[in-house]
Structure 1
Amino acid sequence: MEKLKDLSLIVTQAARGELVFPTSVNAALRLQLALADPDCETDDVIRKVLAEPLLAARTVALANTAVFNRGGTPVTSVRAAVARVGYRNLYSMAAAMVVRQFGSRIRDAALRAQAEQLWRHTAHVAALAHVIARKLTATDPDTALFAGIVHEAGGFYLLSRADEIPGLLDGAGEWLGAAQEILSREMMKKLAIPEPVSLAIVSLRGATLTPPPLGLRDTLLIAKHLAPVASPLACGADSPSLAGFIDDNAALQQMLAESAEEAASMSAALLV
């Protein structure tokens, strides 16, 4: 009963917009705010990235990952990195840094292990979504990549709060999924996630697939089903069947191979 009261308090605070963010994410949030401004100039973006050494390092690292460095030519400056990845993907990286910071501040060993597993799941889902969007669902790949990165933001937030309330997630039941849905919705608002992306993410819980696969939600559902690392916070029914969606095994194996390389390089570049 006490656990349910604690969880209810966390959810109520979130619904009021009272999310507790670590101070270490401020630089990434400032960058997101600048990138969301249609009149934002490149020099201003570069100044904000350079003002935070971690942001600068991760921006260059992201530009040199397999996702963005198809030609194998590395970049060595923030300006060149920003030009290569573009504002939309830089926005994705800033969001990823925010998400990762919630996991990195967890002290409890078991919860920290869950946060690391959740990040690996996130990296694989993002990489798979990027590939699936290109080859299967007629969805913008960069949007799919971004959605994959932030789709478990509510889960990371819940794990960080569980670190403050021992036993909060012990014996979690159906209420866990409902709590994650509410927390995800509020995290989407806090991170200023565009509405089409936030709607696709919030609608994942309990969603089913109906052929043909189209749009961002289906892209994420398929990516989550195929991800080789499961979310430690997964609950409810098994993932929906992909029968009728990917019947060509050779095509499936190619997608898995491509996404594995992207996930590995993305995870290393965004590790914070």
Structure 2
Amino acid sequence: MNKLEAFGHIAALAIRGELVFPTSVNAALRVQLALDDPECPIDKAISLVLAEPILAARTVAIANSAMFNRSGAPAITNVRGAIIRIGYHNLYALAAAMVVRQFGSKITDPEVRAKAEQLWDHTIHVAALARIIARQVTGVNPDTALFAAIVHEVGGFYLLSRADEFPGLLEDDPENWQPASEEIITREVMNKLSIPEPVAEAIEGLRDGFLSIPPDNLLDTLLLANHLSPVPSPLAGPQREIPPHSDSAIDLFIDEDKLKSMLEESEIDAAAMSAALLV
């Protein structure tokens, strides 16, 4: 099966809703579904997290990371304290990170696994940057930006998780028809994961979106974070890149000192997130 046939087959399955998710993904999805209700009682949230030992450990770890404890407060030693510190929105994002990460957990092909690891590193850096950009530049909700960045490559992760079954996915794409097929698959995966519409729209806009000057929305936040990420996506093509003049455009709204500070902070946050979410 060549690349065109592989993409066509997976896209057809996605359209029919026949998506293959690891069992661990379904468990994390249950947590996400409950946390999607802002009125979810904290005791229910705690019980859901405790029912997933990996998620419980990650929740406490990230609550104690530099990302959420810059003041040097005493270490959190329980899930209740961790949830109170990071909040429901970030717990929701953490569950989403587990979903994304688990897609690559069963990959056996060394080449595909290497791509999945690079995509994960890229995702973590984009997530750290998006949260900072939202807070300091675009003015969108930083929690939403963090969540959107964590799931922005979920379609790519899903495709890599199926590459062992469809080796043709790794073939070169000289005719550049892959983006259209990937867009269909990404849309259906996001639908299956119940990604909120505003977030889904921003992610879909990454394919051919343009950076606003000044940047002021979620799509701009993701475009900037992707552009500034020190780790590129192994799946990126020209259609995912903001125009080459963007560096000079960025100078219009982020001065050199501020950009340096943002990049340094994002490196610290990315390292903290990577350690806390290590699987």
- The 1-side partners of 2:185 and 2:149 are apart by 16
Residue 247 of structure 2, aligned match among 242, 249, 254:
242
Aligned twin of 1:263 = 270
What TM-score comes out, normalization by structure 1 length?
0.96
- The answer to whether the 8 A contact 2:6-2:168 is kept is no
Please tell me whether the aligned partners of residues 162 and 169 of structure 1 are also in contact (alpha carbons under 8 angstroms): yes
Does residue 45 in structure 1 map to residue 45 in structure 2?
A: yes
Please identify, of 93-102 and 67-76, the stretch whose mean Cα deviation from structure 2 is larger.
67-76
- Alignment of 1:98 with 2:99, yes or no, is yes
8 A Cα contact 1:213 1:245, kept in partner: no
Number of aligned positions between the proteins: 272
The residue correspondences of 1:1-272 to structure 2 (distance < 5 A) are 2-73=2-73, 74-173=75-174, 174-237=176-239, 238-240=241-243, 241-247=246-252, 248-272=255-279
Q: Separation in 2 of the partners of 1:13 and 1:246?
A: 44
C-alpha distance in 2 between matches for 1:132 and 1:38: 25
Q: Distance in 1 between matches of 2:16 and 2:250?
A: 40
- Displacement of 1:38 in angstroms is 4.1
Gaps of 5+ in 1: none
Which amino acid is 1:166 matched to? P
Give the Cα–Cα distance (whole angstroms) in 2 for the partners of residues 72 and 155 of structure 1. Answer: 37
Instruction: Give the distance between the partners of 2:62 and 2:191, measured in 1 at CA.
Output: 25
Q: Distance in 2 between matches of 1:126 and 1:164?
A: 29
SS at match of 1:136: helix
CA contact (8 A) 1:63 1:81 kept: yes
- CA offsets 1:2-56 (integer angstroms, 9 cap, x no match): 3311210101111222111001222211101111134421111111111121111
Is the contact between residue 63 and residue 85 of structure 2 (CA under 8 Å) also seen in structure 1? Answer: yes
Q: 1:132 is matched by which residue type in structure 2?
A: I
Amino acid at match of 2:169: L
Tell me the amino acid that sits aligned with residue 71 of structure 2: G
On the 8 A contact 1:222/1:242 being kept in 2, the answer is no
**SS in structure 1 at match of 2:104:** helix
Q: Deviations over 1:173-226 (max 9, x none)?
A: 422222222222112111111111111011110112231111000000010000
Q: What letter is aligned with 1:16?
A: R
**TM-score, normalised by the number of residues in structure 2:** 0.93
CA distance in structure 2 between the aligned counterparts of 1:227 and 1:130, rounded to whole angstroms: 13
Name stretches of at least 5 consecutive residues in structure 2 with no aligned partner.
Answer: none
The DSSP-based 3-state class of the residue aligned with 1:118 is: helix
| Stretch of structure 1 that moved more, 166-175 or 204-213 | 166-175
Q: Percent identity?
A: 62
2:177 aligned counterpart, secondary structure: helix
Deviation, structure 1 residue 165: 1.4
